[in-house]
Structure 1
Amino acid sequence: MKKSMFSLLSIVLLAGTVVACSNNNNPGPVNTPSSTPSNGESQTPDKPKGPTEFSISFETTGDGTGYTSRVDLKNEKWIEALEDLTNTEIHAEMVHTTQMGLMFAGGKIPDVVGVLGTPSSGSMAGSVEAGVFHPLTNWIKEHTPTLYETIPQAAWDAVSVDGEIYGVPSYLSNPSRRATYIRMDLLEKTGKEVPKTVEEFIDVMRAFKDIGVKHPYAMRENFKYADVIFGAYDVLPYRDQFMVMDDEVVPKFFQADAMMEALTIHKQLLDEGLIPKDFASITVGDFFSNIEGGNAGMWSQNAVGLPSLATTISAAVPDAKIEMIPSPTGPDGEGGYLFYSPVLSSYYINKDVEEARAIEILKFMEWQLSEEAQIFFEFGIEGDTYTIGADGKINYKAPETDQEKEEEGWRSGQINMIKDATLSRLRTELDEKYGAIVINGFDNILANEGRGGIGFYPELSSSAKFPELGFPSQDVGPSFIIDNMVRMIYGQRPIAEWPKVLEEYRERGGNEIIAEATERFNNKDGVIELYR
């Protein structure tokens, strides 16, 4: 079951509920016993239990200068508000990625450990396999069925080891997050229609060049956020883009004919001056400078970033109109970008936590999926960060100062542990200028495009043996493959030699990677099939 996020109307209807809950001495569902037995007869309510107490660590990659470095987490306002809502007592700490291994080695492990990613993340240091945490499958199914039913199966698979659930994830209900953006004002100037196919996309690029657009389609090194053509041909060279081919499980770039077509198109774009000559070395900073300065006609970027990008571009070009459009389709009529891993972060319960308290912690996590929780995490505290107008609508006081923005990020991001991280839909609905565009993008564009594949969690161990063939991150291909793609686009190696590149990949260690991928797929060992 997938839980649909409720609309702004639901916020209005819930406002009275939230107010009522805030006046309850024991408002949270955690440790809140029922006062009505199964036979429907009334009885004296059980005496409320004390708060569920637990310690928790959140993994961070920050530099130590953020919000949590300037506040006392023992008395942090949002943790205290969360405790009041859920009848809990939370002892939180931040642990840098580089210190996670030391935490496990030292044995001072919190009751709950949060990690960026899954059990296979390097910062977990093999702790799940070493028996540091409780297996959770039976407890989750028996005591928190809503939690189990709401989170997609792919996310549960990603936090499982040997078929047993160990973590509770912050997940993505829609794995397609990247979108194709266009300067609609420039498109209107060309007189062209919104492109649908690769051929039409290139035609629009040519038209943009004719009217003086410096970057008809913005490019970036390693094809990062610059891979729309490879998506159209279903040859994205990424970690979770494996497929079954001739009884083997291979990376999708083994589709030689499709890859050669995609490379040929890129060489054509380079030769016609439709992408910059230095496309292979454009940094992330220059990439955004080109877009924000109004010098790009089309580009690829996360859909949630539209309001920020549109605001910045409009400062440079007041008449600019930014929209998302369906990504161009390839020969199979499909297109789009990689499907993301279904898990952004996940949480594990120390095996030393007694069963009763572990179950209460799981109930606390389940509550975070409730409507009451969503109101709190997205908007905060009534009378402080939002008010309810006479019409019953929520009036959110959007953060203005850096401190307020950091608090919002902490509340709606960090301590909102278990959530559908696809989109902060409630806040987005309140954005009168861009909210509808973003929601339409997710619901009617991204929901119908994107390239899935086979992924492995934990990652293929053989990839680590051959660094040039491994995947540095989820959306960066092996350096050996990327280097050859770039060389062919520049004409330094014939595109017709792509089958030879695949032979070289096998000889350099790729055969071992493919053999492991095939064996694990056949044995259903840590396999995630990222398809809709």
Structure 2
Amino acid sequence: MKDFKQALQILAVALFSLILLVGCQSKPTSEKTDEKKETEEESKEPLKFSISMRTLAFTHVENSPNINEDEYVKELEKLTNTDLDIRLMPHNEYSTKMDLMFASGDIPDVVQTSAGFGEGSGQSLQQAVEAGVFLPLDDLIEKYGSNLKKYIPEEAWKKQRYKDGKIYSIPEYLSNPSRRATYVRKDLLDKAGLEVPKTVEETLNVLREFKKMGVAQPFGGRTDFKYADTFFGAYDVLPYSSMWELDKDGKPVPKFFDSKNMEEALKTYKTMYDEGLLHKEFLTIDSKQYKNDAITGNIGMWSMNANELLQWEQQLKENVPDAEIAIIPSPVGPDGKGGYYLYGDVTRAYAINKETKNPERIIKFFDWMLSEEAAKYFTYGIEGKDFTMDSGKVNYKTPETVDEVNIERYRTAFLWMVQDTTYIKGLLEMTPEGQELIKVYDDILAKEGRDGINFDPPLKALDTLPDLQPSSDTPPKVLMGHMAKMITGAEPISDWPKVVEEWKTRGGAKALEEAAERYKNKEFTESRRK
């Protein structure tokens, strides 16, 4: 009997221990369940995050009283379960505003950069990356960015890797770097009975005919030669950050060192200025006035991104119903080539603040941008307003007014943050005009364009010399001042070699030394045009 009681006691202790053990093991399981429920609840709540974005000089964006209340932003939030706080940065003050933002310490959850960590995003961006302001994204992209990995080309990702080899931003990419094109009023060309010009001199003759026909601005000029650099391209002397070449000694130098061809290009602009083929105040014309002059019929030939052709033509027709715009091969120079600077593989990119909550959900937000649902929304807009569905087919309401065209441009280019931004394929395929524009990329743009040796990140020697710093598509201030004076007759064009020497003495010599060293160490990108 005694042995039986002892056995019961032992069994009771064992059972009690087992209950304690099970209880202890059950507790973490319960906690995990609670954590899972909490995560699920969080995912049901809209993700709130702030994002700084450049306005891109888009009319609809810059005229918006509150972009965060825009119906297309609201629809985007609905589709992505987000609550966006978009902080706009004026297009023409972007670099300065970026520097001020970093200096203030008020950095949003997501920062849009111009392309990566090179020029164009302000001098403070690289410093912020080095200071650990932004989150390395490699692991997050691997886990949550299946579309990002699938569709974004490796060349674009390379631009987002910093010196430590880590990815710090998500790129909007460009599959065709030849993006800018020469626009001409085809109706005026036909009326004058002229063929499409090929050379610089033939182009000048077309512009002279336009002047005789009463066109206010035969050629569209613009401040800093932005989108007005056609003839610098013809002579292959574009004075931009990506435009370096090897001199006769095999050393890298800026292309504007080619005094012979730079002087020829400047003479061309001076001829246009003297003959009234170029607006006398072209040096003060900003992007808004430039577009307004074009779509009101006051310009005969100008430059713009090819993907905007149909939108500009539609707006022009509201003012000049019989007008037609055509993209033609850009005028060629002595080497038989021409065109505009080739864009990089990235047009915009998005870095995530390391203090941001739920960065994985932000990755999912950008990953969604490359989904079929996103393509349908950004391409066609809001169902019932911009398009209807009929037996699975999209019936798109083609924009008719200037405001509607501006909204389409805003939706497809500004708001669609990550995409192949060469052109909106879904829209172009819908019409014969759009299909013809697709051919333009293959038949014209793929065969032209200027490029050079490119140092990215930019040369450090120029960091403290703002007057010597070029951008991707505007000359440095020290050059721009002399170019303006030479074209208007205030300085002799033959003095260009002196301008090159001034650039050297004001700090450019150090840039040449750094460029030579980086070229020797293969720290550069080769030209994509030979």
Q: TM-score range by the shorter chain?
A: 0.7 to 0.9
Deviation, 1:167, is: 1.2
Deviation, 1:233, is: 1.0
> CA offsets per residue over residues 200-255 of structure 1, 9 Å max, x none?
21232233334443433222332222211111111111222223333433221112
Larger mean Cα displacement after TM superposition, 439-448 or 406-415: 406-415
1:213 is matched with: 215
Which secondary structure does the structure 2 equivalent of 1:187 belong to?
A: helix
Alignment of 1:394 with 2:394, yes or no, is yes
User: Aligned partners of 1:346 and 1:144: how far apart in 2?
Assistant: 15
User: Aligned partners of 2:220 and 2:203: how far apart in 1?
Assistant: 13
Which secondary structure does the structure 2 equivalent of 1:319 belong to?
A: coil
Which of 483, 498, 501 is matched with 1:485 structurally? 483
User: Aligned partners of 2:359 and 2:289: how far apart in 1?
Assistant: 48
Runs of 5+ unmatched residues, structure 1? 1-46, 84-89
Contact preservation (8 Å) 2:183, 2:325? yes
Distance 1:343 1:55, change over 3 A: farther
Alignment of 1:374 with 2:375, yes or no, is yes
Deviation, 1:193, is: 1.0
Distance 1:215 1:160, change over 3 A: same
Deviation, 1:389, is: 2.0
1:135 is matched with: 136
Contact preservation (8 Å) 2:370, 2:419? yes
1:192 is matched with: 194
> CA offsets per residue over residues 334-388 of structure 1, 9 Å max, x none?
211112243232223455689xx76675465444324343123322455564322
Compare the two structures and name the one with the higher helix fraction. Answer: 2
User: Aligned partners of 1:301 and 1:438: how far apart in 2?
Assistant: 14
1:60 is matched with: 53
2:440 is matched with: 441
Distance 1:528 1:419, change over 3 A: farther
Larger mean Cα displacement after TM superposition, 358-367 or 186-195: 358-367
Larger mean Cα displacement after TM superposition, 225-234 or 125-134: 125-134
Which secondary structure does the structure 2 equivalent of 1:345 belong to?
A: strand
Which of 252, 257, 267 is matched with 1:254 structurally? 257
Alignment of 1:92 with 2:119, yes or no, is no
User: Aligned partners of 1:381 and 1:280: how far apart in 2?
Assistant: 41
User: Aligned partners of 1:423 and 1:219: how far apart in 2?
Assistant: 25
Which of 227, 231, 245 is matched with 1:243 structurally? 245
Deviation, 1:477, is: 0.6
Which of 332, 345, 349 is matched with 1:346 structurally? 349
User: Aligned partners of 1:102 and 1:299: how far apart in 2?
Assistant: 35
Contact preservation (8 Å) 1:208, 1:216? yes
Distance 1:100 1:58, change over 3 A: farther
1:13 is matched with: none
1:78 is matched with: 76
Contact preservation (8 Å) 1:104, 1:127? no
Deviation, 1:328, is: 1.1
User: Aligned partners of 1:339 and 1:260: how far apart in 2?
Assistant: 23
Counting only pairs closer than 5 Å after superposition, residues 16-415 of structure 1 correspond to structure 2 as 50=40, 51=43, 55-61=48-54, 65-70=64-69, 76-83=74-81, 90-97=82-89, 98=97, 110=109, 112-120=110-118, 121-122=121-122, 124=125, 126-137=127-138, 140=141, 147-148=148-149, 150-162=151-163, 163-245=165-247, 246-284=249-287, 286-351=289-354, 362=363, 365-380=366-381, 382-383=383-384, 385-390=386-391, 392-397=392-397, 412-413=412-413
TM-score by length of 2: 0.76
Identity %: 41
Which secondary structure does the structure 2 equivalent of 1:175 belong to?
A: coil
The letter of the residue matching 1:477 is P
Contact preservation (8 Å) 1:78, 1:411? no
Which secondary structure does the structure 1 equivalent of 2:315 belong to?
A: helix
1:40 is matched with: none
User: Aligned partners of 1:290 and 1:407: how far apart in 2?
Assistant: 20
Deviation, 1:175, is: 2.1
Larger mean Cα displacement after TM superposition, 324-333 or 123-132: 123-132
> CA offsets per residue over residues 271-318 of structure 1, 9 Å max, x none?
444334444444555544543332332111222332333233333333
2:427 is matched with: 427
Deviation, 1:457, is: 3.7
In terms of Rg, which structure is larger? 2
Distance 1:276 1:378, change over 3 A: closer
Larger mean Cα displacement after TM superposition, 93-102 or 120-129: 93-102
Deviation, 1:180, is: 0.8
Distance 1:216 1:369, change over 3 A: same
2:94 is matched with: none
Contact preservation (8 Å) 2:176, 2:422? yes
User: Aligned partners of 1:259 and 1:54: how far apart in 2?
Assistant: 53
Distance 1:54 1:278, change over 3 A: closer
Which secondary structure does the structure 2 equivalent of 1:160 belong to?
A: coil
Deviation, 1:105, is: 6.8
The letter of the residue matching 1:506 is K
User: Aligned partners of 1:140 and 1:164: how far apart in 2?
Assistant: 11
2:515 is matched with: 517
User: Aligned partners of 1:341 and 1:285: how far apart in 2?
Assistant: 25
Which of 501, 504, 508 is matched with 1:503 structurally? 501
Contact preservation (8 Å) 1:54, 1:91? yes
User: Aligned partners of 1:466 and 1:350: how far apart in 2?
Assistant: 29
1:23 is matched with: none
Distance 1:496 1:60, change over 3 A: same
User: Aligned partners of 1:273 and 1:406: how far apart in 2?
Assistant: 31
Which secondary structure does the structure 1 equivalent of 2:421 belong to?
A: coil
Runs of 5+ unmatched residues, structure 2? 1-36, 56-61, 90-96
User: Aligned partners of 2:209 and 2:300: how far apart in 1?
Assistant: 10
> CA offsets per residue over residues 407-429 of structure 1, 9 Å max, x none?
86775455533211222221233
Distance 1:76 1:410, change over 3 A: farther
Which secondary structure does the structure 2 equivalent of 1:161 belong to?
A: coil
User: Aligned partners of 1:317 and 1:519: how far apart in 2?
Assistant: 55
Which secondary structure does the structure 1 equivalent of 2:458 belong to?
A: coil
Distance 1:278 1:352, change over 3 A: closer
Contact preservation (8 Å) 1:103, 1:109? no
